[in-house]
Amino acid sequence: MEEILGYIKNNKQNYIEELKEFLKIPSISTLTENKNDIARCAQFVSDNLKKIGLSRVEIIKTEGHPLVYGEWLGAPGKPTILIYGHYDVQPVDPVELWNSPPFEPTLKNGKIFARGATDDKGQVFMHFKSAEAYFKNEGSLPLNVKFIIEGEEEVGSESLNIFLKNNSDLLKCDAVLISDSSLYGPGIPTLTYGLRGIAYLEVEMIGPNRDLHSGSFGGAVANPINKMAQLISKLLDKDGKVTIPGFYDDVIKLTKKEKENFKTLKFSDKNFAKDLGVDELNGEKGFSTLERLWARPTFDCNGIIGGFTGKGAKTVIPSKVTAKISMRLVPDQDPNKIAKLFERHIKKIAPKSVKIKVTNLHGGYPSLTNIENPANIAASKAMAKAFGKKTVFMREGGSIPIVTEFSKKLKAPVVLMGLGLNTENLHSPNEHFDLNHFELGIISSAYFMKEFAETK
- Catalytic residue IDs: 88, 153
In angstroms, the CA 414 to CA 370 distance is 9
Q: Which is nearer to Zn ion, 103 or 342 (CB)?
A: 103
Provide φ and ψ at 197, rounded to 5°.
-95, -170
- Of 18, 71, 132, 180, which lies in the binding site for ligand BES, with binding defined by CB under 6 A? 180
Which range binds ligand BES by CB under 6 A, 174-182, 276-284, 352-360, 377-385?
174-182
Q: Is the peptide bond before 76 cis (omega within 30 degrees of 0)?
A: no
Q: Which is nearer to ligand BES, 320 or 362 (CB)?
A: 362
By CB under 6 A, is residue 29 in contact with ligand BES? no
Between 363 and 402, how does the x/- string for binding to ligand BES read (CB under 6 A)? -x-------------------------------x-xxxx-
By the 8 A CB rule, do 195 and 366 touch?
yes
Q: Among 387, 390, 185, which residue's Cα sits nearest to residue 268? A: 185
By CB under 6 A, is residue 297 in contact with ligand BES? no
Question: DSSP assignment, residue 221?
Answer: B
Residue 23 binds which entry of ligand BES, Zn ion, none, CB below 5-8 Å type-dependent: none
By the 8 A CB rule, do 417 and 379 touch?
yes
By CB under 6 A, is residue 181 in contact with ligand BES? yes
By CB under 6 A, is residue 120 in contact with ligand BES? yes
Q: Would the CA dihedral through 122, 125, 126, 129 be positive or negative?
A: negative
Q: Is the peptide bond before 332 cis (omega within 30 degrees of 0)?
A: yes
Shortest reach from residue 368's CB to ligand BES, in Å? 14
Shortest reach from residue 48's CB to ligand BES, in Å? 20
Residue 198 binds which entry of ligand BES, Zn ion, none, CB below 5-8 Å type-dependent: ligand BES
By the 8 A CB rule, do 419 and 441 touch?
yes
Residues in region 413-452 near ligand BES by CB under 6 A: 418, 422, 426
Q: Where are the beta strands (DSSP E) in 295-345?
A: 300-306, 316-317, 320-329
Residues near Zn ion (CB under 5 A) are 119-120, 180
Shortest reach from residue 400's CB to ligand BES, in Å? 5
Q: Which is nearer to ligand BES, 203 or 231 (CB)?
A: 203
- 3-class SS of residue 58: strand
By the 8 A CB rule, do 70 and 87 touch?
no
The secondary structure element, H or E, covering residue 191 is strand 190-195
- Of 42, 57, 82, 198, which lies in the binding site for ligand BES, with binding defined by CB under 6 A? 198
Shortest reach from residue 431's CB to Zn ion, in Å? 11
Provide φ and ψ at 243, rounded to 5°.
-95, 5
CB proximity list for 349: less than 8 A, separation 6 or greater: 231, 234
Residue nearest to ligand BES (CB): 398
Per CB under 6 A, residues contacting ligand BES are 119-120, 153-154, 156, 180-182, 198, 362, 364, 396, 398-401, 418, 422, 426
